[in-house]
Amino acid sequence: MKRVFAMTAALLLVAAPMPASAQDPAGYTAPFADKLETRLFPMPAMIRAAAGWPAALAADPALAKLAAERSARVPATDCKPAPQCLADAWLWTGADIATVEASLRALVREPRLARSLVTDQMRRSGRFARHAALADADFLAAAWRETAGGMNTVIAVYAKGQPPRYPKIDAYIFDTANPEYAKVLAAHGVAAASMASKSDTMFDPPTRYATGLLGMNERVEGGAFRPLLGEDNAAAVAAVQKAAWKDFPYPALLVFGHGPEDAQSRTGVMGHIRMGIAASMFRRGLAPFIVVSGGNVHPNRTPFNEAVEMKRVLIEQHGIPADRILMEPHARHTTTNLRNCARLLLAAGFPADRPSLIVSDHMTIKYIASPLLAQRSLAEMGVKPGKIAPGPDQFTVLFTPDPVAFHVEPLDPLDP
């Protein structure tokens, strides 16, 4: 333990501003609260905050007509076949999506509107980084299609009961064949349509409906632990600002969780092995911080969070100082472990030009370094969140984060 406290003393104060507590890229601060609906669907929040856009949307005849039509679709009484008809009323149809896209493309031709939304918000936020090379109109259209597709996915899975990509851990909780479920869905639809505010745009009611479905299904993990750089991570983020990076070979050790399959265990066995390896490396001075990554994953709807439990074990069983551990408590798969760690490293102010070490057991590390995981990342998230290279031993690979990791994937609503 002497080495741990010597390392703690070596984290020298440097002149650096504290980052905001939200998980934003450098140079951008979101003008809205960091919560489930803005993590999953940032575009409606940005439109509401962008100068000139709410008024421009309200004045657009095609959008006003569509908003009225969509409102009229919400059944005030029973419809058939229930409950599918109740959910279908909220879907963005192909015609809806095309109408909105045409209006957005027309509006963004106005330089003032393009600057306030696309330049100052959407591009700088990194949340649409996959489309960065596109011209403004195409960029905005691509972001809109993703947003509508994400809302439709939430409705299909969490209202209609269609299986998600990983049904074992992500599925809905209701029996859609139970007649009582139709009453629940009808009540939710009427409530979502009625909770309007003066600042609403046409995108806000369906946003409320989709995020409300996640709440009803107890699938709100994506909005937990926000703002991520505050509260439980605040002390470690403050320590990051004081780190003497030149004294360490690597900025951080990244450890991914391994959830158990029984309801009593808080941490899977492989997680204990990985933490032991990482704690040994920390004591040897390989990095000044450990980042633990993993959400509420296994078993299905577990109350235990992998990152929270790993931090607890590292403190209690390995003696790692709490302010040297950062939690990334959302990832549900190895792909999102990589992406979310990249976001955290960049947002918290870790050196962007130096690789950190991913630490795992000798079998899993081969998978992390394999082309298979890189291909899966592209298929499931549309981005490769960083560069992976061979590490110094059989338990590690090098990982250099890429800002494209900030891109939001609304088709994965439990961890966008």
pLDDT score of 238: 97
Note whether residue 48 is domain-resident. yes
Q: Return all residues near 186 (Cβ < 8 A) that are at least 6 apart.
A: 75, 78, 82, 83, 86
* Position with higher pLDDT, 213 vs 7: 213
- The pLDDT-based confidence of 16 (bands split at 50, 70, 90) is very low
* pLDDT band at residue 162 using 50, 70 and 90 as cut-offs: very high
Structural domains counted in the chain = 2
Angle 191-201-60 from CA coordinates, rounded to 5°: 135
Whose CA is closest to 196, among 98, 77, 58, 82?
Answer: 58
Q: Please list, residue by residue across 195-205, b when 16 or more beta carbons sit within 10 angstroms of its beta carbon and e when fewer do.
A: eeeeebbbbbb
Task: Provide the β-strand partners of residue 247.
Answer: none
Domain assignment of residue 31, yes or no: no
pLDDT tens by residue, 67-100: 999 999 998 777 889 899 999 999 999 999 999 9
Q: Is the dihedral of CA 77, 83, 85, 87 positive or negative?
A: positive
Q: Quick one: 260 and 360 in the same domain?
A: yes
Instruction: Give 199's pLDDT tier (boundaries 50, 70, 90).
Output: confident
8 A C-beta contact, residue 290 and residue 325: yes
Q: Give the pLDDT band of residue 20 (cuts 50, 70, 90).
A: low
Q: Same domain, yes or no, for 141 and 260?
A: no
Residue 30 lies in a domain: no
Q: In percent, how much of the chain has pLDDT > 90?
A: 86
Supply the pLDDT for residue 280: 98
Structural contact between residues 140 and 50, judged by C-beta atoms closer than 8 angstroms: no
CA 14/CA 330 separation, integer angstroms? 30
Q: How confident is the model at residue 7 (pLDDT cuts 50, 70, 90)?
A: very low
d(CA 45, CA 42): 5
Identify whether the C-beta of residue 400 lies closer than 8 Å to the C-beta of residue 387.
yes
Question: pTM value?
Answer: 0.93
Distances (CA, A) of 186 to 85, 159, 179, 382, 397: 10, 11, 11, 35, 50
Does residue 177 fall inside a structural domain? yes
Q: Are 164 and 293 in the same domain?
A: no
Which pLDDT tens digit goes with each residue over 307-334?
Answer: 999 999 999 999 999 999 999 999 999 9
Decide: 271 and 356 in contact? Cβ < 8 Å.
Answer: no
What amino acid is encoded at 249 in this protein? P
pLDDT for the residue numbered 75: 86
pLDDT of residue 198: 82
Task: Return the residue matching tokens 């106005």.
Answer: 110
* 70 and 189 fall within a common domain: yes
Looking at the fold, whether 197 and 334 belong to one and the same domain comes out as no
User: Tens of pLDDT along 47-76?
Assistant: 999 999 999 999 999 999 999 999 999 987
**Predicted confidence (pLDDT) at residue 6 exceeds the cutoff of 70:** no
Please say whether the dihedral angle defined by the alpha carbons of residues 157, 158, 163 and 169, taken in this order, is positive or negative: positive
Question: What's at 19, amino acid-wise?
Answer: P
- Peptide bond just before 163 cis, omega within 30 deg: no
Sequence letter at residue 191: A
**How much of the chain, in percent, has pLDDT values that exceed 70?**
95
Q: Residue 170 contacts by C-beta under 8 Å, 6 or more apart in sequence?
A: 157, 164, 219, 332, 414
Let me know if residue 29 belongs to a domain: no
Same domain, 8 and 41: no
Q: Token pair for residue 234?
A: 């605040």
CA distance 78 to 4: 65
Where does a domain end: 222, 245, 268? Answer: 222
Are residues 381 and 302 both part of a single domain? yes
Domain shared by 150 and 173, yes or no: yes
Domain boundary among 205, 222, 239: 222
Do 84 and 145 fall into the same domain? Answer: yes
Q: What is the chain's length?
A: 416
More confident residue, 16 or 405: 405
pLDDT at 196: 80
- What's the distance, CA 183 to chain centroid? 31
Rounded Cα–Cα distance for residues 58 and 264 (Å): 53
Domain that includes residue 60, residue range = 36-222
Residue 110's SS3 state is: coil
Q: For residue 15, is pLDDT > 70? A: no
249 and 291, same domain (yes or no): yes
Whole-angstrom Cα distance, residue 148 to residue 91?
8
Which of 180, 198, 222 lies at the terminal end of a domain, its last residue?
A: 222
Task: Out of 30-34, 76-80, 112-116, 221-225, give the one with best mean pLDDT.
Answer: 112-116
Task: Give alpha helix (H) positions in 50-135.
Answer: 53-59, 61-73, 84-88, 94-107, 111-113, 124-125
Same domain, 72 and 184: yes
Integer Cα distance of 189 and 75 in angstroms: 8
Mean pLDDT over 405-414 rounds to 95
Mean pLDDT of all residues belonging to the chain: 92
| Whether residue 163 sits in one domain with residue 16 | no
Residue 253 φ/ψ, nearest 5 degrees: -105, 125
